[in-house]
Structure 1
């Protein structure tokens, strides 16, 4: 597990996204995650939607199911899956700015709450499916992240995790000059490997159904962001003003690190598909997803 010298807490993560809110939306839009390219000819908007659709496919979402979006950002993923798959979604974000933006863009079947996933207040066994797209990296306690997901899912529930991962065996300069600074500048308390993620998921009670390394298909996200940032700095006075702020400077320094981290294999991007045991497998009475609005037991 890669851990920065001073691991950030949830307040620092929330502050990061609140302060960088205008930068993220200027450079990339309302989906705060990588794009997924199949042919290389997709636009960035098509690529980010392709990643969302891939998550929906891995979850085998069906109309009417109750879902939770762990670290939902602006709610764009929740809105797309609610519209295209007919599911009901509760999204949770630490960021006040993201929650405010989501509230200004309501959608049928979607509710975005500001809160901490590690203390989410949701009722046990009340969801059919859950996903975490690039949010587990921000969790201080990753075993508890998986444990909470297992707790809120009903028997037979599914979880998909899209995660920034450390390449197995990454060491030396790759850790010192790429992964540790990426964690520090991106407010990631730690970055795990595929093996560590699978071990934590299994310890929480999940069965690993599948894993896909899509690093090559997502890496161009950062070359596009770096190019857009450079053009904005050259052409736009407001972008230059924003760039002078401390955390924005950190973000701009992280862009070339991310490009190099993918090119060297120091960082990987994985899609992990997990499931809970069904009632007839563990003896627990079956529980359908009856809706996520009730308080935690």
Structure 2
């Protein structure tokens, strides 16, 4: 009998998971069901199985990365999807892989890991974003947007959906010629460049990634907007001390997840100080449904050290301390799942190049990361929030009509 039986027999109800043990024995859990995958895994060592007993999420990741758990039927996306689909967040289900004490410890570790002082913030960014631009070119869209796309139609290409995302955000910023715009966490410059192309605005993009900075500057020059789009390697906290009241608009896409819960109030205070009296901000962030939680051990260790996915409640509560007015909130429930499936498919298509560039273990880690993230957005407690803030209640039109009008014009 598999040592994983107590865990898997409790979790798998729909769909089927077959486990092949190192001694050649096999055991199946669940039953075939429409809409659920059938997956077979083989363990090459007992150690790989014990890893999962000790810590199901991190243990499964490392067993897969080290070749101690092989997917015989299906793939890692289907395996994680099967587990998540049997424990959907919106039906109140949980994997229950940790006791109440274990969950409390994970919460403490998350808080300590995401304190994110200036030096640690730069090191954490380098861990994920300075591993080479060539890797990201292989699985992102042509504009290298490394955040949730926007899918008004499910049959769009990834490139179309990312262009729609930029137009959607630009419309919410209520741009006008001559404005100064700040892009906090500018990535490879795509959003900043797009804003300058859509309206006659000046944009400053800031990042802590040297790899991103160099490419963003190259791209602005190639796009012919370098006279209005600049990029700097600077922490938002340092910029807030230098540019008080300097920006009419602030946009931040996919950066707030790296701020850390301990710094939420600091972040919003910095943004409020950076904005003019009539300033407007659009924050696009991954968020967790329900109450605040913790970052899982795999993500902390391998993917986003210092990262934390915020609940909407703690995000808004932190913004209130700086007297920012929440003027609009949109929840993108499944848009990131659609985006991640595109990234996963492109990663599989470029397997040989990624293995040659990094190594086999990295490739397995990356596919595990993308598969786990996809499952979290399809069945788990993750989504995306776009939150619009203003300092003055008079800063924006009284109705939301202007957003649809501008978005139609930009597209």
CA 1:138–1:150: 2 relative to 1, 3 Å: same
Where 1:104 maps in the other structure, the secondary structure is: helix
**Equivalent position to 2:313, from 195, 204, 221:** 195
Does residue 166 (structure 1) correspond to residue 288 (structure 2)? The answer is: yes
Match of 2:342 in 1: 224
Provide Cα deviations, 1:85-105, integer angstroms capped at 9, x if missing partner. Answer: 111100001100000101212
Q: Is the 8 A contact 1:134 1:162 kept in 2?
A: yes
> SS in structure 1 opposite 2:130?
helix
- Mapped pair 1:126 → 2:241: no
Task: Show the 5 A alignment for 1:104-119.
Answer: 104-105=218-219, 106=221, 107=225, 108-119=227-238
Deviates more, 1:179-188 or 1:96-105: 179-188
- Unmatched 5+ stretches in structure 1: 281-297
Q: How many residues align?
A: 272
Q: For residue 212 of structure 1, give the secondary structure of its aligned residue in structure 2.
A: strand
1:52 counterpart residue number = 166
**What is the DSSP-based 3-state SS (H/G/I as helix, E as strand, rest coil) of the residue aligned with 2:350?**
helix
TM-score of the pair, normalised by structure 2: 0.62
CA offset digits 1:216-249 (Å, max 9, x no partner) = 233211111111111211xx3x321234277665
Q: Compare relative contact order (CA 8 Å, sep 6+) and give the higher one, 1 or 2.
A: 1
CA drift at 1:251:
3.2
- Deviating runs (4+, > 4 A) in structure 1? 245-249
The aligned counterpart of 1:66 is: 180
2:369 corresponds to = 254
Q: Partner of 2:242: helix, strand, or coil? A: coil
Distance between the aligned counterparts of 2:237 and 2:312, measured in 1? 21
Is contact 2:189–2:216 with CA below 8 Å preserved after alignment?
yes
Which entry has the higher C-alpha Rg, 1 or 2? 2
Per-residue deviation, residues 23-66 of structure 1 (Å, max 9, x unmatched): 22211042222211001122111111111111111111111100
Cα contact 2:291–2:313 (8 A) shared by 1 = no
1:248-286 Cα shifts (integer Å, max 9, x gaps): 654332101111101124111110010013699xxxxxx
2-side partners of 1:147 and 1:213: how far apart?
Answer: 24
By how many angstroms is 1:215 displaced?
2.1
Moved more, 51-60 or 23-32: 23-32
Question: Hey, what's the Cα distance between the residues in 2 that align with 1:267 and 1:152?
Answer: 30
Q: Deviations over 1:95-154 (max 9, x none)?
A: 000001012122241001111112225321111000100101111422211111110100
Q: 1:207 — aligned with what?
A: 325
Unaligned runs of 5+ in 2: 1-105, 396-411
- The alpha carbon displacement at 1:21 in A equals 2.7
Partner of 1:293: none
Whole-Å Cα distance in 2 between the matches of residues 122 and 129 of structure 1? 16
Distance 1:42 1:266 in 2: 25
Q: CA RMSD in A?
A: 2.4
Paired position in structure 2 for 1:294:
none
Provide closer, same or farther for how the CA distance between residues 257 and 211 of structure 1 changes in structure 2, counting only shifts above 3 A: same
Match of 1:181 in 2: 298
TM-score of the superposed pair, with normalisation by structure 1: 0.84
Alpha-carbon shift at residue 188 of structure 1 (Å): 4.4
